Amino acid sequence: MGSKRFEGKLERLDTWRWKIDKSHKPGMLVDGIIYADDVLAALIADDYSLEQVANVACLPGIVKYSLAMPDIHFGYGFCIGGVAATNPEEGGVISPGGVGYDINCGVRLIRSHLTEEDVKPRLETLINTLFEKVPCGVGQAGKVKFNRKELKQLMRDGSRFVVDRGFGFASDIDVTEGNGCLAGADPDLVSDRALERGASQCGTLGSGNHFMEVQVVDHVFDETAAGVMGLSVGQVCVMIHSGSRGLGYQVCDDSLRELRDVPRRYGIDLPDRQLVCAPVHSREGQKYLGAMQAAANYAWCNRQIMAHLARQSFEKVFEMRAPELGMQMVYDVAHNIAKMEPYDVGGRCCNLCVHRKGATRAFPPGHEDIPIQYRSIGQPVLIPGDMGRSSYVLVGQDGAMTDTFGSACHGAGRVMSRTAAVRSAKGRSIQRELLDRGVFARSRGRRGLDEEQPDAYKDVNDVVRVVDEAGISKRVARMRPIGVIKG
């Protein structure tokens, strides 16, 4: 995936973990730890994403180790699947490359009372209705518009702002990570260009790997946890994968430009300029955090409006109200974000800046930040696969708190660049291949399906098995797609 190769050594620690020793390169303050089985390790053995894990280990104030989940692949600065925590009290930094361009890209799952037998006869109509209702594709504008004042309020208040305006149910907020709002968001730190880009894109899907899928629960691994989440075999669900659209991209782009000379100002020597950063407690670090948090709140509102549009589509096709259809949210998780969270470091509690770049929060049973209804089973962890395979619901486990800063993987992980995927699709119809697998797909253009074809990704079953058996997150249910819309 990366244009360069990793020339170092991967040392096996146990069945699921591999180490890049901090002696690998000058400047590494901690080891790099990668979660993978033999199959996945072979896929990344010489990929430059491993060098990115080592580069992150050079960040000032980094604690314990630089981590990568089993869906690791090459990204900007951090690898995708990267996790790192820094201690602000010891010069710890915040790095936009550890969050990514699509701030708070995340996943939302909605269950229903419908079964596959109920939906199959109307599946094509349903997917076409969703495609018409939910704007998707590069630059696509939504039907929901916000003026400048409203947009700033939305970025300050998060999901509650749009729910109060009729886009969804109050209960949705209860099962959104952080109740759909990061405190400390400062919309006044967001540029005019970012506001301009965000004004008409809230409630839109975007392009790339973003999607809305109609899925069927086809296997339950943990009956108790599935029961708590209201999931059962044969049940139809909707999964939404999207983020902060052009607004978040612009916030990241602005921040990278503004921080370009900051490391030198603070005497920070970086192995990769894409890791541009600032001390968390600095004026520059706080400015990025405030803007990033505002963009994250925008992303939660984006998914909230799309959930409302999905419910409206089901209502139209099945001629029943969403509550009658049982269309309740299971959970919503972020996977491109940085948060201040307390962890035990050497026997003392430290408030760390945890970067999750293509990684999902995975808090264990009993954690106070889990919605009360899920506290007995652990935080739901939503892992989308590719269009032709499965997606998963897991729950966080104790191992995540002790070993991965409360984090798990976020998806399958690419093994083929988008350019290579398009090349591979030449002379084929990915839409027809998906239909042969029982998946009806709609896309704004052929390229979207070509780039995101199943062959472009690792097998999500392998990725999920690693985090399950490593004790980070436990498998609860598996869903297979039957319909998808993409940009």
Helix (H) or strand (E) holding 117: helix 116-119
Please report whether residue 480 resides in a domain: yes
Q: What is the pLDDT of residue 445?
A: 77
Residue 424: inside a domain, yes or no? yes
Report residue 97's pLDDT band, with 50, 70 and 90 as the boundaries: very high
**What is the mean predicted confidence (pLDDT) over 409-415?**
90
The per-residue pLDDT for range 165-177, each reduced to its tens digit, is 999 999 999 999 9
pLDDT of residue 436: 87
Q: Does pLDDT of 374 surpass 90? A: yes
* The pLDDT of residue 487: 75
Comparing 433 with 320, the larger pLDDT belongs to 320
Sign of CA dihedral 409, 411, 415, 419: negative
Q: Do the domain assignments include residue 2?
A: no
Classify residue 417 as exposed, middle or buried by CB count within 10 Å of its CB (0-12, 13-18, 19+). middle
Residue 2, pLDDT score = 53
Rounded mean pLDDT of 358-377?
98
Cβ–Cβ < 8 Å for 214, 484:
yes
Domain of 394, CATH number, reads: 3.90.1860.10
Q: What is the pLDDT of residue 295?
A: 98
More confident residue, 24 or 487: 24
pLDDT in tens, 424-468: 888 889 888 888 888 999 998 788 888 888 888 889 999 999 999
pLDDT beyond 90 at 4: no
Q: Which residues have a catalytic role annotated?
A: 410
Question: What pLDDT was estimated at residue 66?
Answer: 98
Lowest mean pLDDT among 94-98, 105-109, 139-143, 474-478: 139-143
Average pLDDT on 338-355 reads: 96
Query: What is the reported pLDDT for 455?
Result: 84
Query: How far, in Å, CA of 177 to CA of 107, rounded?
Result: 10
Instruction: Quote the CA–CA distance of 431 and 303 in Å, as a whole number.
Output: 25
**Lowest mean pLDDT across 36-40, 223-227, 357-361, 387-391:** 387-391
Q: How confident is the model at residue 3, as a pLDDT?
A: 61
Domain that holds residue 110: 11-486
Residue 138's CB is within 10 A of a number of other CB atoms, namely 13
Q: Is pLDDT above 60 for 67?
A: yes
As a whole number, mean pLDDT of residues 352-377 equals 98
Q: Which helix (H) or strand (E) holds 420?
A: helix 418-424
Percent with pLDDT over 70 in the chain: 99
In a domain, 3, yes or no: no
Residues 6+ away with beta carbon under 8 Å from 135: 141, 142, 143, 203, 204, 205
Of the candidates 62, 64, 37, 32, the one whose C-alpha atom is nearest the C-alpha of residue 49 is 32
Q: Give the span between the Cα atoms of 255 and 79, in whole angstroms.
A: 19
What is the pLDDT at residue 70? 97
- Cα atoms found within 13 Å of the Cα of residue 21, Cβ hemisphere only: 7
User: What is the Rg, in whole angstroms, of the alpha carbon atoms belonging to the chain?
Assistant: 21
**Count of domains observed in the chain:** 1
Q: Measured between alpha carbons, how far is 307 from 340 in angstroms, rounded to an integer?
A: 28
In three-state secondary structure terms, 376 is: coil
Q: Does residue 244 lie within any of the structural domains? A: yes
The arithmetic mean of pLDDT across residues 300-321, rounded, is 98
Average pLDDT over residues 416-427: 87
Picking from 142-156, 279-293, 319-333, 360-374, which range would have the lowest pLDDT averaged per residue?
142-156
Q: Is 411 within a domain?
A: yes
Q: Is 127 within a domain?
A: yes
- Whether the predicted pLDDT of 1 surpasses 60: no
CA distances from residue 487 to 153, 295, 441, 483 in whole angstroms, order as listed: 28, 21, 11, 14
Residue 215 lies in a domain: yes
- Residue 13 corresponds to which tokens in the numbers above? 């620690």
Average pLDDT, the chain: 95
**How confident is the model over 201-215, as pLDDT tens digits?**
999 998 888 999 999
Q: Alpha helices of 166-320 — where are they, by DSSP H?
A: 170-174, 192-198, 223-229, 245-258, 262-265, 283-318
